[in-house]
Amino acid sequence: MRQWLSSLEQRHGINTLTLRARQCVLISFTLLLLLVIYRGFTLQSDTFDWRPVVAFILPLVLFLPSILGQRARGHAWLAFVSLLYVTQGVMLAAVPGQTVHGIVEALVSLALFVGCMGYARFRSQQQRQTGK
């Protein structure tokens, strides 16, 4: 794996890979946030309660400063948190009538995981090269 990543870095350049990983993180983070909000509204019963929606959104929103600040360590931690949403999506896929939503949530969460791990790696190497 390390050898494959090194050849990828030599082929495309560290700056390009960092930019692509960041784009993947931004897109998948936004999609996951929208999916979680949508699920919070659709899985409610007759009376709407904000607490479950906030409970699902809060872990993502807490990482917003790390994403906006482009911190590699924050992206690495977000990658691990995104695995909770992968599990949640797989569990939701088992609920009758929510299969598609669960699969989409699991796939978007996996994209967030891959993007965050890639960004954390490429950004930290980019900072080592520039001496920051």
Q: What is the pTM of this model?
A: 0.89
CB proximity list for 71: less than 8 A, separation 6 or greater: none
31: exposed, middle or buried (C-beta count within 10 Å: 0-12, 13-18, 19+)? middle
- Which tens digit of pLDDT belongs to each residue from 13-38? 888 999 999 999 999 999 999 999 88
Domain boundaries, position 20: 2-130
Per the structure, the count of domains in the chain is 1
- pLDDT per residue rounded down to tens, the chain (132 residues): 777 777 777 688 888 999 999 999 999 999 999 999 888 877 766 677 788 788 889 999 999 999 999 999 999 999 999 999 999 999 999 999 889 999 999 999 999 999 999 999 999 988 888 876
CB proximity list for 109: less than 8 A, separation 6 or greater: 28, 32, 82, 83, 85, 86, 88, 89
Q: Contact at 8 Å (CB) between 22 and 71? A: no
